[in-house]
A and B are shown apart, each in its own frame.
Chain A
């Protein structure tokens, strides 16, 4: 009853083409943004910023990048963590080697570097598909991590290969409090999510989806496969690269190549599978699920076992956490194989009919 577009007439092309055609959605997103930009910084504590919100936003961005490539353009990739590593190390090098380099510019350059590397490793996609392409991107994963370990130049000759990033400073303002870093990450992520949302509705996005659904047919109707696929690789890697730079600069503060392992790539892949393949919202939901549920279990399980006087030690609790998490993933995938974003969509459909379902 509340969520219904009855009476909302579109009288211009602009109105018809807006991102959120339904007024309730527009209001919802405005409230959400206002909440994220105003209420959260005023109320949340340091733990929320440093351990939950900032990593959540950064991983959402990485998942968004992978979703563009895998969900929209249909190219399976296992190299997201490696592209994040490229971004992190590139941003660090631009920042350390060029005197007076603005941080935002180095983030953009980091994204562009990652995009370049992404194009390079996207080249096999012109010949191979599906699982075989996944194996080719796996090469990126191993090669890039090896490269960062092998060439000391890339870590500015740090004896251990670990880089420790300088402070983030924009126009003389140092982003050293958790709030300010959160706002910086939030601004970048919102902007890039908006861009992605628009991109997938544009001719570029439609070309991606055409290639995903059937590339021969797409070629027949005049979509240039090479350009479309490589563009998807470039833009996806750009997103991952920026996410990697933020991961190093605004979250951990120091990173090592081993941190960007295959595990992390899988984690990002699980985010989009659980969240919803081919959905912008799904990237955020998936990141939240994969990041927050283990933390939630970690807090709840010991408390629960103490409450019930179960004789479990901390090792068992850790094992239980992994098991429950795995079961939850399976549960969601069985109940809704198209991810959490699809659940939300179903919910919306139901809301439109509520309270009189037919």
Chain B
């Protein structure tokens, strides 16, 4: 029976594979293929739609403007539902297509990117984890193929502390800060960094976990009321953020003293909370709104031509949409960087794209040229710094929109980066990886 079944599935899938293979025209000479393991359904589907909508819109935009120096971008999406096993299946399905000229892979899921770190290194495909994923991959000597671009949770936590310190006129000594977090990999990752900061700046850190999904936080906020903290750092995701804001309002905790991570600072988090969200702050590494010329131009060019990816155009200019665009900007710029070295107008191989990601230098001038001034910070990567920036802005919700409060704030690199290096070394030892010598890379 199983034999028959296997033969049957094998036969059908072979047939399907043939059709699927025949469908996109045979790869033309110069094309760069992006595999896009996206999610548009499931618990986080709404977030995925905005992010991948922005991502694909920018790729379309680049193609409409003549591609990356003439190299057209092609892509294929695969639904992961934010599920690790499905993400791996998507990766395996699309990787053979990507092996010739890949774009960086963005999973927008910490779980999936963890599962892909080893696989992508073995297959030699560049993996990007912008603002999520395995943060110790900042150490490029151990993780040549993984790039936690722009910034990491730890650096973000450190930047938030710096912001609070400036707010308190330079000292947090004797203050009390509550860290209210989603009890998962995502919420636990910054703890080491926060503990280091609390020792350095002599403030009391109170850690309060919230179990997934976090739609009931009565007990946690009761505790916060007893602790009477000066600030609450909120590391939530999805429904947890809205609940935290509503409960804070009920308990009478001022929202002006609450500050969220970048996954707790999108329109999806604050609009459902209504009035309770006013005055709430959050960190972000990309700004919202259509004030950025690039976003306005995408809307005009791509949606004007009817080639937009989003059905619900009101999402254009939201935090997550703009984040998707900035992810695509970095990916395309990395390929441009590689082209500048290995030959303009040519499709770049995996090793070349990896080089491009590792030697990315996205300056303010270049951002201005792209019309992306202020959309994201300057990014300059190297072999031993796959992060490249570590800067965030603090924004505040005024009841209708996010307003940036500060310029780019950089976390305490001297304090945080050694933590990554130590973790990367531990990883290398467990996996038997011999780190590259970064001084020999050029």
Which residues of A are interface residues toward B (Cβ below 8 A)?
Answer: 28, 31-32, 35-36, 45-47, 50-52, 55, 96, 146, 149, 159-162, 164, 166-167, 176, 251-256, 258-259, 281, 284-285, 288, 292, 294-296, 298-300, 303, 306, 313-315, 317-319, 321-322, 344
- Collect the chain B residues with CB atoms within 8 Å of residue A284's CB: 2
Known contacts: A146-B211, A254-B118. The answer to whether A315 contacts B40 by CB under 8 A is yes
Most B CB within 10 A of own CB, among A159, A255, A259: A159
- Collect the chain B residues with CB atoms within 8 Å of residue A317's CB: 79
Q: Are A344 and B189 in contact (CB under 8 A)?
A: no
- The residue in chain A whose Cβ has the minimal distance to the Cβ of B430 is A166
- Collect the chain B residues with CB atoms within 8 Å of residue A146's CB: 211
Please list the 7 inter-chain residue pairs (A to B) with the smallest Cβ-Cβ separation, ordered nearest first.
Answer: A160-B185, A51-B92, A32-B3, A315-B40, A51-B89, A318-B79, A318-B41
Closest-CB distance, B118 to chain A (whole angstroms): 5
A46 to B78, CA, bound (A): 18
Does B165 have its Cβ within 8 Å of any Cβ on chain A?
no
A-B contact list, 10 entries, CB within 8 Å: A51-B88, A149-B184, A159-B191, A164-B427, A166-B432, A252-B88, A285-B5, A296-B9, A296-B16, A298-B79
A313 to B96, CA, bound (A): 24
- Collect the chain B residues with CB atoms within 8 Å of residue A319's CB: 41
- Collect the chain A residues with CB atoms within 8 Å of residue B380's CB: none
Closest-CB distance, B115 to chain A (whole angstroms): 5
In the complex, besides A160-B189, A253-B118, A318-B41, 14 extra interface pairs with C-beta distance below 8 angstroms are: A28-B1, A32-B3, A36-B6, A51-B89, A159-B191, A159-B192, A251-B88, A258-B111, A281-B1, A292-B9, A299-B17, A313-B311, A314-B77, A318-B40
- The residue in chain B whose Cβ has the minimal distance to the Cβ of A96 is B430
Closest-CB distance, A148 to chain B (whole angstroms): 11
Most B CB within 10 A of own CB, among A259, A294, A315: A315
A46 to B97, CA, bound (A): 13
The tally of CB-CB contacts under 8 A between chains A and B is: 136
Q: Are B9 and A281 in contact (CB under 8 A)?
A: no
A322 to B431, CA, bound (A): 38
Partner of A159, one of B40, B84, B115, B423: B423
Q: Are A285 and B1 in contact (CB under 8 A)?
A: yes
Which residues of B are interface residues toward A (Cβ below 8 A)?
Answer: 1-3, 5-6, 9, 12-13, 16-17, 19-20, 23, 38-41, 45, 49, 77-79, 81, 84-86, 88-89, 92-93, 95-96, 110-111, 114-115, 117-119, 122, 134, 183-186, 188-189, 191-192, 211-212, 309, 311, 423, 427, 430-432
- Collect the chain A residues with CB atoms within 8 Å of residue B1's CB: 28, 281, 285, 344
Partner of A47, one of B45, B93, B211: B93
A167 to B134, CA, bound (A): 19
A147 to B405, CA, bound (A): 40
Q: Are B40 and A314 in contact (CB under 8 A)?
A: yes
